[in-house]
Chain A
Amino acid sequence: MIRFDQVHKQFGSHVVLRDVSFTVQRGETVVIVGFSGAGKSVCLRHMVRLEGADSGLVEVDGQAIDLLNRKEMRALRSRFGVLFQGAALLQWMSLFDNVALPLRERTSLGEAEIAKRVEERLEWVGLLDAAERLPAEVSGGMQKRAGLARAMVMDPEILLYDEPTSGLDPVTSRSIDELMLRTNRERGATSVVVTHDLISALAVGSRILMLHEGQVVEYCAPEAFVKSEVKVVQDFLAAQQITG
């Protein structure tokens, strides 16, 4: 379970999160939506302490992550898999080596076992044929899928997706959605997805949280979200031509 309690964050004089509180239950998929600059990605980065809160508390399974030392934080992070906005693959490594990296660095598995697990994950995301290609040699969608394979290779309990469909065409976006759904369904992972693609949010989310100007303005099931009477939510839905 991930819990945000009155989390406040500002960069200089710009307040990004204003006393944000919410909870993500084990096994559910929460989608955080909002306009650009609403604080969605900052929120996600707080969950793995890539950003620290100015005040308030972020807890993962009852552990306040700001109080953990480096070793404890490392252990906690090993339970997470993160798909970054630009996939964040190391550019000098092949897709295979990128996916194998956490296994080589964090486990004592032999190369044969590593190869087996990497190939499994690459096959899962449909990239086995492109395993030896460099990130610069494949499309944005393929990079995202490789990033997803890397995020999953350690079998994490919690998956964080930062804008998984941004910059992708609708067909590729839906294939990424399908992959997320399959991952959550078959592996039972807790997932937090940050996106401003409402179609994707409605497809994969068990609950949708909307951030606006650093505050939570709505947090409910997708069916309730499309019928929300909050003005900002209505504007957001209308902008994407989605009606209740």
Chain B
Amino acid sequence: METVFHVDWRGACGIGGLKITYLNFPLKSVKRLGSGTLQKFYRIGHAFFMLLEAVWYFRCALSRRNRADTMMQLYVVGVKSIAVITVVALFTGMILALQTGLELMRYGQQVFIGSAVAVSVIREMGPFMAGLIIAASVGSSMAAQVGTMTVSEEVSALEVMGINANRFLVMPRLVALVVMMPLLTVYTDIVAILGGALVGYTQLNVELLAYYHNAMMYTEVKDLYVGLFKAGLFGLVIGTVACHQGFSARGGAVGVGVATRRTVVSSFLLILVLGYMITRLFYL
């Protein structure tokens, strides 16, 4: 049998009837990488424009058409998250006080747990905890709701009725998150500091007044402002990611599940990265 060696234009080669296509591997990979990158940029662009349009409609938040939805979202984000935030903040403050206090106790300096807890909670832990809790509870539920609306054609129906989905669905959610996140952060700060005080008083023999004075001594107003700024930004991020993922949901329940998971993962990552960048910007 005659053996013929050939190379085709894509770089695949073969001998006789046996075609070896391993040379296609890098070309296909490059193609896939390129289209994947373009898709990513397209999605980021889509999310960004959705955010811009929704922010543009913030002025309509309390208009006759949107008031009820905005109020409902404020209730869902704020009031319905209080219980879980209380528990997490309380125990975080208690753990922080206990760990710091046990170390400081070795030097007889446990009275300083007030400043340790207050500074770390107000600067970092408060907005960070509130962000993670809201991303996991509210963000995931928003993604699931918008995702279900997308796959069941409710979003298409809005579009056909000439109703702007960014105003109707995204704006009330973003407003609620941007308003409620700083408030929840202040609440988280207070509860965590109280948790620290409880541990200091009952386990480390720190007087409440001394704890309070120490907490106030090293805390600056700037810490609170930076924390609140972070919280507002985290709110925008959670809302944008959740709604964008919801709108991108495809293929029924599985697609909604994927959108929900992506919302939680992306929000967590963005909260961490943005938290670091803001801290660096304001404190370095």
Given A84-B153, A154-B161, output 16 extra A-B contacts at Cβ < 8 Å. A45-B156, A50-B160, A77-B160, A77-B161, A78-B162, A82-B157, A84-B157, A86-B152, A88-B152, A88-B154, A101-B161, A101-B163, A102-B163, A105-B161, A105-B162, A150-B161
9 inter-chain pairs at a CB distance below 8 angstroms, sorted by A residue, are: A45-B156, A77-B160, A85-B153, A86-B153, A88-B153, A90-B149, A102-B161, A105-B162, A154-B161
Q: Which residues from chain B contact A82 at a C-beta distance below 8 Å?
A: 157, 160
Most chain A CB within a 10 A radius of its CB, from B153, B159, B160: B160
Least Cβ–Cβ distance between A121 and chain B, in angstroms: 14
Q: Which residues from chain B contact A150 at a C-beta distance below 8 Å?
A: 161
Q: Which residue of B lies closest to A82 (CB)?
A: B160
Q: Give 1 or 0 for each of B203-240: 1 = CB within 8 Å of chain A CB.
A: 00000000000000000000000000000000000000
Least Cβ–Cβ distance between A96 and chain B, in angstroms: 14
Q: Which residue of A lies closest to B151 (CB)?
A: A86
| Nearest 5 CB-CB pairings of A with B | A88-B157, A88-B153, A84-B153, A102-B161, A74-B162
Pair count A-B, CB < 8 A: 45
- A residues 51-92 touching B (CB-CB < 8 Å): 74, 77-78, 80, 82, 84-86, 88-91
Q: Is the CB of B160 within 8 A of A106?
A: no
Q: Within 8 Å of chain A (Cβ to Cβ): is B10?
A: no
* Given A50-B159, A77-B160: A104 touches B154 (CB 8 Å cut-off): no
Question: When chains A and B are docked, how far (Å) is the Cα of A89 from the Cα of B149?
Answer: 9
Q: Is the CB of B156 within 8 A of A84?
A: yes
Question: When chains A and B are docked, how far (Å) is the Cα of A48 from the Cα of B161?
Answer: 10
Q: Is the CB of B162 within 8 A of A50?
A: no
Chain B interface (Cβ within 8 Å of chain A)? 65, 149, 152-154, 156-157, 159-163, 168
Least Cβ–Cβ distance between B63 and chain A, in angstroms: 11
Q: Is the CB of A89 within 8 A of B154?
A: yes
Question: When chains A and B are docked, how far (Å) is the Cα of A88 from the Cα of B154?
Answer: 5
Least Cβ–Cβ distance between A223 and chain B, in angstroms: 33
Q: Is the CB of B162 within 8 A of A104?
A: no
Q: Is the CB of B152 within 8 A of A106?
A: no
Q: Which residues from chain A contact B152 at a C-beta distance below 8 Å?
A: 86, 88
Q: Is the CB of A77 within 8 A of B157?
A: no
Chain A residue total in the interface (Cβ 8 A) = 22
Question: When chains A and B are docked, how far (Å) is the Cα of A105 from the Cα of B66?
Answer: 10
Select B154's contact among A74, A78, A90, A102, beta carbons within 8 Å.
A90
Q: Which residues from chain B contact A85 at a C-beta distance below 8 Å?
A: 153
Question: When chains A and B are docked, how far (Å) is the Cα of A150 from the Cα of B168?
Answer: 17
Question: When chains A and B are docked, how far (Å) is the Cα of A45 from the Cα of B149?
Answer: 17
Question: When chains A and B are docked, how far (Å) is the Cα of A45 from the Cα of B157?
Answer: 11
Question: When chains A and B are docked, how far (Å) is the Cα of A48 from the Cα of B156?
Answer: 10
Q: Is the CB of A88 within 8 A of B156?
A: yes
Q: Which residue of B lies closest to A83 (CB)?
A: B157
Q: Which residues from chain B contact A78 at a C-beta distance below 8 Å?
A: 162
Q: Which residue of A lies closest to B162 (CB)?
A: A74
Q: Which residues from chain B contact A45 at a C-beta distance below 8 Å?
A: 156
Q: Which residues from chain B contact A50 at a C-beta distance below 8 Å?
A: 156, 159-160
- A residues 92-114 touching B (CB-CB < 8 Å): 101-102, 104-106
Question: When chains A and B are docked, how far (Å) is the Cα of A62 from the Cα of B95?
Answer: 70
Q: Which residues from chain A contact B153 at a C-beta distance below 8 Å?
A: 84-86, 88
Least Cβ–Cβ distance between B51 and chain A, in angstroms: 17
Q: Which residues from chain B contact A101 at a C-beta distance below 8 Å?
A: 161, 163
Question: When chains A and B are docked, how far (Å) is the Cα of A88 from the Cα of B149?
Answer: 8
Question: When chains A and B are docked, how far (Å) is the Cα of A88 from the Cα of B148?
Answer: 11
Q: Which residues from chain A contact B149 at a C-beta distance below 8 Å?
A: 90
Least Cβ–Cβ distance between B156 and chain A, in angstroms: 5
Question: When chains A and B are docked, how far (Å) is the Cα of A207 from the Cα of B159?
Answer: 28
Question: When chains A and B are docked, how far (Å) is the Cα of A238 from the Cα of B149?
Answer: 37
Question: When chains A and B are docked, how far (Å) is the Cα of A150 from the Cα of B163?
Answer: 13
Q: Which residue of A lies closest to B69 (CB)?
A: A92
Q: Which residues from chain A contact B160 at a C-beta distance below 8 Å?
A: 48, 50, 77, 80, 82
Question: When chains A and B are docked, how far (Å) is the Cα of A90 from the Cα of B68?
Answer: 15
Q: Is the CB of A106 within 8 A of B156?
A: no
Least Cβ–Cβ distance between A151 and chain B, in angstroms: 9
Question: When chains A and B are docked, how far (Å) is the Cα of A138 from the Cα of B176?
Answer: 31
Question: When chains A and B are docked, how far (Å) is the Cα of A90 from the Cα of B72?
Answer: 15
Q: Which residue of B lies closest to A45 (CB)?
A: B156
Least Cβ–Cβ distance between A128 and chain B, in angstroms: 22
Q: Which residues from chain B contact A84 at a C-beta distance below 8 Å?
A: 153, 156-157
Least Cβ–Cβ distance between A40 and chain B, in angstroms: 15
Q: Which residues from chain A contact B159 at a C-beta distance below 8 Å?
A: 50, 77
Question: When chains A and B are docked, how far (Å) is the Cα of A82 from the Cα of B149?
Answer: 16
Q: Which residues from chain A contact B156 at a C-beta distance below 8 Å?
A: 45, 50, 84, 88
Question: When chains A and B are docked, how far (Å) is the Cα of A217 from the Cα of B15?
Answer: 44
Q: Which residue of A lies closest to B157 (CB)?
A: A88
Q: Is the CB of A105 within 8 A of B65?
A: yes
Least Cβ–Cβ distance between B246 and chain A, in angstroms: 14
